[in-house]
Chains A and B, each alone.
Chain A
């Protein structure tokens, strides 16, 4: 690949030198481009350095502008004569070409007659790095900022001087701070002066930035080595004792690698050696058919070795002696002891703080997950917790809310307005669905809870399939408004996305509103009365039917709002509700039925627990979910009534 490119490059150069000699005077940039045509047509990270160097060597004033536009995929090639142009899209699949030197317009050309140059992101990175020198002193702060970003992504030794030269004259304070920080980072890596590096390293003590660690860690990379004597001229990080710091097999492998010991015979080599020595159905006098155990093979191999036919096997005693005779150590790749010592000390301080902050971040994640579980379960806390109705279709109410949000977003294109509209509409839709379900199905089954479970399950599968028939199985986008994009960054380690904060706030609002409704309003009083003793409540003039209907509607409506929030943060599919239903039930049961606070505690416990298990086993999220459920099952065995158990008559049975 690389070689073909080179040949093509050379051929092109030769041909151009003959044919386009005149071009060099009229169109200097075009002629440089044509000289390196293959490199521009099919740019690769491996060849682009040479191409850019050739362009910059020509010292053309419009070269940086060309590089910028090349990076932005704005350069096109006309197929007929292979010349390069900028292009303007006319919107009807034709393009007007603009000369790279003169700016003269030409065209329009059909898209098929042109070829767009598409440098990949690696090449774009290299271009950005090359442009840095021009950008750091640019009058436009945005360009200077782009230059700094390019340095962060691809720092080079040459940037250090450019940074130092431009920091003094920088007038935007934010950019100046960034330049100074970058200057210190580059000093660590590229400066020749040991003292300056140590000073720069020490200036990062306690810094949480990933970039600081990214500059320091490479200084501390080590190579594991073995030698007969401890070498004097090497920056040793640690001496390792075989069998304690270093497994014996690994230590011996190091010796073999260093040429200090003969290699061990592997099972495969032993087998190959045996096969190579088969004579008349036997090896060294042992019949082949007996060689179906490792012991027999070892014995036969030893016979072969004794006969001098194969290499002597390495035995344990020999390995012991070899390990005792040699030293094993980790050597720093960085030869300067002062630098590595400073870096190790600084990093240790940083890691300590990073660890603490990671804990804080994990706690935030746990809190966020808890609020999501709480949001999904809070409607259930009312229908199941307060009324005692098992509603397996609760998850489908969440899904209905999410789809309502999606439909409204199709009608109202403005994301902010659509979300504001979607929340009450979702409440109304699921409230109505809940009331309908209560009237039509559930009220006939108040005394048969197990059958409520099954009937609502029937509704659940019907609703899920209905959603599939209407919206398809593909996930639908529910896009959050721009002001919820991004994350609240507390420092480089601790951050949380705004959407999660919004969900957290929403669940707090729900908590307060529900507590208010249940404890401070007439409706709440009636709900509690009907829950505790429906016939006594009825004789006090409360209409239990109406209250049951409203309570169920309220729980369902809240599920709808939760659906909008969950859809915003994840995805909208027909299975969205089913993903949360089991967890939601467990949240309510663990927390303690009949109590909003219980649900809160349940959600908190489950959220934190799951994050905690994930932290212990970061490579397998599924395991975290499994162990969490097992924990909950065991928890319920010991506290069957949940964290907050109601006492007395209100508890019912």
Chain B
């Protein structure tokens, strides 16, 4: 017991001594537990990016040192590890988190200690923290364009919103319901269902979805089903003989990484919406994929959150160079307006609401587990507060000029400087 304490103390003293000589990047991704499969990939991505940056001569003439910790898919542990990174290891920036609940767990710590977090995963929005840069998609960069695609290109008139019962599907479906009603879809034409994590008994839900077609309207499924549960869902869809031409399914949580563990013959033609697909054609992408495969193995794939880290890390490097220091406040100011070419062609830009402007891609699943990109928009600016919920429509985030992440344009006041947890 005592020994542990002493060694921890000694370690912190050592680290404090070494801190001047190097720049430290904290990596807060689960390496064990249920989220490990998704998050380990992101840890490896960060190590690759740091390695490449060091090859180019590091940052401000110093070497970048990664500090990897394992929050073990345990949400309270995320907060504890974040505190450890910021106070014991004194990192300059943290790249990390996957699930929304883990982000909500970390937020109060990061805000209290004025840290800097880059969050790389598509999420439900309704948040803009002073200390977080959101490099994943906000709902208007993924869910809304995908819904537009359903409405305009596939002429879907009846929607089944199927999701796993947690915060991202709940909020996203809430926004979509409101959006669809604005678009003239009646409330009874929106079917919502929530299932637990890892759900496997899909026969009744699939039968319900098929039965939705009974009033002669074209049915489409918007799926926020997470992880393993997708397998049983798509198997049951295929068994029921439902093809993508009859009832298209667009998924927001199914990417290359998820498909790599799956027999995709059942899924061909179904859709996914992301800001990045491995099949995107650009030189930067080819280079990135080649570097990734050289490091991790030929069978590995790249996916959307990896691109988010790629953009986020490079923007942070540029901002540090512009600011000439790793001081959080100086870097944050330098981040606004930073641009970096994204892997799908075009340029990503960091906005004053801490979100990126990125293109939205829609892909059809192919036999080999890759996506055939059938629609790509120009850059869409990420919106922290959705315009489609009345209580959020009045809110904007502008950390540069207004200095507020939750500014009520009606009352012209800043609702709060800290975030909702």
A and B assemble together: yes
Does A571 lie within 8 Å of B232, measured CB to CB?
Answer: yes
Q: Are A571 and B228 in contact (CB under 8 A)?
A: yes
The stretch among B102-110, B114-122, B238-246 that forms the contact with chain A is B238-246
A625 at the interface (CB under 8 A from B): yes
Q: Total A-B pairs in contact (CB under 8 Å)?
A: 147
Are A497 and B216 neighbours in the complex by a CB distance under 8 Å? no
User: A213–B214 contact, CB under 8 A?
Assistant: yes
* Contact among A214, A215, A362 for B204, CB-based, below 8 A: A362
How far, in Å, is B72 (CB) from chain A's closest CB? 12
B194 close to A618 (CB less than 8 A): no
- In this complex, which of B153, B199, B205, B269 has the most chain A Cβ atoms within 10 angstroms of its Cβ? B153
* Chain A 342-377 interface 0/1 with B at a Cβ cutoff of 8 Å (1 = within): 000000000000000010011001001100100000
* Residues in chain B near residue A213, CB distance under 8 A: 214-216
Q: Which listed residue, B37, B211, B241, B245, touches A474 by the CB 8 Å rule?
A: B37
Structural contact, A579 and B198, CB atoms closer than 8 A: yes
**A466 at interface, CB cutoff 8 A:** no
Interface 9-mer from B53-61, B77-85, B260-268, B305-313: B260-268
How many residues of chain B have a CB within 8 Å of chain A?
57
Tell yes or no: B208 within 8 A of A by CB: yes
- Answer whether residue A194 sits at the interface, using C-beta atoms and an 8 A cutoff: no
Given A473-B37, A579-B198, A621–B205 Cβ distance below 8 Å?
yes
What is the number of residues of chain A that contact chain B, defined by CB distance less than 8 Å? 62
CB atoms of B199 and A486 under 8 A apart: no
C-alpha spacing A619/B173, complex, angstroms: 13
Given contacts A497-B240, A619-B193, contact A368 B232 (CB under 8 A): no
Bound form: Cα–Cα A361–B204 in Å: 9
Question: Using Cβ atoms and an 8 Å threshold, which residues of chain A touch B231?
Answer: 475, 477, 570-571
In the assembled complex, B284 has its CB within 8 A of some CB on chain A: no
Question: Which of these, B37, B153, B227, contacts A45 with CB under 8 Å?
Answer: B153
The chain A residue with its CB closest to the CB of B214 is A213
* B374 touching A120, Cβ below 8 Å: yes
Contact call A218/B215, Cβ cutoff below 8 A: yes
Given A121-B244, A214-B215, A477-B261: A622 in contact with B203 (beta carbons within 8 A): no
A438 sits at the interface (CB 8 A): no
- The interface residues of chain A lying within 8 Å CB-to-CB of B364 are 120-121
Establish whether residues B196 and A477, one from each chain, have CB atoms under 8 Å apart when the complex forms. no
Contact of B194 among A153, A362, A620 (CB under 8 A): A620
Across the interface, A618 reaches (CB within 8 A) one of B208, B227, B235, namely B208
Q: Is residue A195 contacting chain B, with contact meaning CB distance below 8 A?
A: no
B398 within 8 A of A: no
- A176 at the B interface (CB under 8 A): no
Tell me the smallest distance from the CB of B348 to a CB of chain A, in Å: 21
Asked if A44 is at the interface (CB within 8 A of a chain B CB), the reply is: yes
- Of residues 189 through 221 on chain B, the ones whose CB sits less than 8 Å from some CB of chain A are 191-196, 198-201, 203-205, 207-208, 210-211, 213-217
Q: Shortest distance in angstroms between B100's beta carbon and chain A's nearest beta carbon?
A: 18
Answer yes or no: A633 CB below 8 A from chain B CBs.
no
Contact A125 B232 (CB under 8 A): no
Contact present for B193 and A621 (CB under 8 Å): yes
List residues of chain A with CB within 8 A of the CB of B257. Answer: 474
Contact for B152 among A46, A472, A571, CB less than 8 A: A46
Partner of A475, one of B191, B193, B194, B261: B261
Asked if B136 CB lies within 8 Å of chain A CBs, one says no
Contact A120 B192 (CB under 8 A): no
Q: Name the contact of A497 in the complex, choosing from B36, B193, B208, B239 (C-beta under 8 A).
A: B239
Bound: A468/B34 CA distance, A? 10
For this complex, 7 residue pairs linking A to B, each with C-beta atoms less than 8 Å apart, are A119-B374, A153-B245, A213-B215, A369-B201, A495-B240, A618-B204, A621-B195
Which residues from chain B sit less than 8 Å from chain A, CB to CB? Answer: 34, 36-37, 149, 152-155, 165, 191-196, 198-201, 203-205, 207-208, 210-211, 213-217, 227-228, 231-232, 235-236, 238-241, 244-246, 248, 257, 260-263, 269, 362, 364, 372-375
16 other A-B residue contacts (CB within 8 Å) besides A121-B374, A570-B235: A121-B245, A124-B245, A214-B213, A214-B214, A217-B215, A474-B260, A479-B263, A486-B239, A487-B241, A497-B240, A571-B232, A575-B198, A618-B193, A619-B193, A619-B194, A621-B196
